[in-house]
Structure formats: structure tokens, C-alpha cells
Amino acid sequence: MKQSLTVAPMLAVALTIFTGCDSKKDPVTSGREAVKEVVTQPFNTLDSAKESITKSEDKSKAAIAEMEKEFKQP
């Protein structure tokens, strides 16, 4: 019992020290994340534009097909 009462405060102190050290963000890592975001943003925009064009083309093709069906019917 006495041994667990002695170990518990030591573990609490050690845990506090270790969590305090990890609270700071590495500036290199956060800088890399920022650069990655800036670099990939145009590609993400391009992919979104491609998807939008594809959807628009599909809608246009469907509308043309519908109009052709209407014209073919007597």
C-alpha cells in the first residue's frame, strides 16, 4: 500500500512533465503542412473544376438525347 502511494505521485509528476514537452508544435512540421496546403490547393481546385465540367457535359448530353427523342416522335 505504501509503495503504491509513493509511486502514484511520481507517475503523476512524470506524466505532467512529458505532456508539457509535447504541447509545443514543431515549427518545421507546421511550416511543411502550410506549404503542402498552398501547393495542393490549385490541384484540388482543378479537380473540382474537372468534376463540374463532367457533370455539366453529362447534363447537356442527357438534354440533347431528350430533345432528339421528342423530335423523332411524329
Domain ranges of the chain: 2-72
Using only C-alpha atoms, what is the Rg of the chain? 31
Cα–Cα distance measured from residue 40 to residue 24, given in angstroms and rounded to the nearest whole number: 26
Question: Between the CA of residue 34 and those of 40, 41, 65, what are the distances in Å?
Answer: 10, 11, 47
Report which of residues 7 and 4 the model is more confident about: 7
pTM, two decimal places? 0.50
The predicted-structure confidence for 18-72, as pLDDT tens digits, reads as follows 665 555 668 888 899 999 999 999 999 999 999 999 999 999 999 999 999 988 8
pLDDT for residue 40: 94
